[in-house]
C-alpha cells in the first residue's frame, strides 16, 4: 500500500494517508472539526476529529473507551480486541496517545472494525480522535487479537493495522494555535 503526505486543517497538521483514499470534502460538506478520507474503490475510511478534552477522565485508556462509546452512539455490544498506550514521536512528552481495535457485532457474518487512535493534549484542552473504519470484515472464529490477523481472508484488517501504524509514525501538529487555549 502506498501513502502520501496530506495536510490537515489548512496545514496545521499533516499525516500520511493511503494514496487510494480521497478527501471527502471535495464531494460534500464535512464539519470544520473533521477531515474525512474515503477509499476510492471501496467503503473503508479514515476520520480525523478535533474534540474538546474530556476533563473528568484522566486515564487515557478510559478516555479512549469513552470516545469509542460516544463514536458508536453507545452501542454497548462492541468487542474491544486490543487497547494500548502508544508513542507518537512528533508530539510533546505531555501528550498521551491510545490505540484500540474494536468490532461491532456480526450482521450476517460481517462486522465493522474500528481502529481508534486517541491523541490527548491536556494543555490545549483537546482530544484528537482518529478512526480507521473497515466495513464488512469477517472476524471468523477468532477469540484472540492475534488470531484476527492470521486469517488470509482478513487482509483488510491487516491493511487497517498498517494504516494506523503509518498514522502513528507520520502524524504531526505544525501549528498548536489551532487549539484553544
In 3D space, the residue among 56, 58, 52 whose CA is nearest the CA of residue 96 turns out to be 58
Residue identified by cell 507520520 is: 170
Is 46 within the bounds of a domain? yes
More confident residue, 3 or 137: 3
**Does the residue 104 lie in any domain?**
yes
181 lies in some domain: no
Under DSSP, is residue 42 helix (H, G, I), strand (E, B) or coil?
coil
Q: Please give the tally of structural domains in the chain.
A: 1
Residue 146 placed within a domain: yes
Q: What sign for the dihedral angle of Cα 125, 120, 38, 66?
A: negative
72-107: pLDDT as tens digits: 876 568 889 899 999 999 999 999 999 999 988 777
Given pLDDT bands bounded at 50, 70 and 90, which one contains residue 144? low
The strands making up 45-52's β-sheet, listed across from edge to edge, are: 21-23, 34-39, 45-52, 126-137, 111-121, 96-103, 79-86
**Residue 131 counted as domain residue:** yes
Name the pTM for this structure. Answer: 0.90
What distance in Å separates the CA atoms of residue 172 and residue 65, rounded to the nearest whole number? 24
Q: What is the mean pLDDT of the chain?
A: 89
Centroid of chain to Cα 4:
17
Is residue 100 within 8 Å of 119, Cβ to Cβ?
Answer: no
- pLDDT tens for 20-71 read 999 999 999 999 999 999 999 888 999 999 999 999 999 999 999 999 999 9
Amino acid at each position: 500500500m502506498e501513502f502520501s503526505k496530506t495536510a490537515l486543517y489548512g496545514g496545521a497538521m499533516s499525516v500520511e494517508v493511503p494514496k487510494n483514499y480521497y478527501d471527502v470534502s471535495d464531494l460534500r460538506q464535512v464539519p470544520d472539526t473533521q477531515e474525512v478520507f474515503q477509499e476510492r474503490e471501496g467503503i473503508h475510511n479514515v476520520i480525523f476529529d478535533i474534540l474538546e478534552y474530556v476533563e473528568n477522565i484522566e486515564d487515557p485508556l478510559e478516555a479512549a473507551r469513552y470516545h469509542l462509546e460516544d463514536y458508536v452512539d453507545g452501542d454497548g455490544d462492541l468487542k474491544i480486541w486490543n487497547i494500548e498506550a502508544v508513542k507518537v514521536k512528533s508530539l510533546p512528552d505531555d501528550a498521551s496517545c491510545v490505540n484500540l481495535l474494536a468490532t461491532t457485532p456480526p450482521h450476517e457474518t460481517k462486522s465493522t472494525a474500528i481502529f481508534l487512535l486517541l491523541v490527548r493534549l491536556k494543555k490545549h484542552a483537546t482530544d484528537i480522535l482518529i478512526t480507521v473504519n473497515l466495513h464488512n470484515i469477517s472476524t471468523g472464529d477468532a477469540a484472540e487479537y492475534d488470531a484476527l490477523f492470521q486469517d488470509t481472508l482478513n487482509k483488510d484488517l491487516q491493511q487497517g493495522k498498517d494504516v494506523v501504524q503509518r498514522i502513528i509514525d507520520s502524524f504531526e501538529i505544525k501549528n498548536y494555535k489551532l487549539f484553544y487555549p
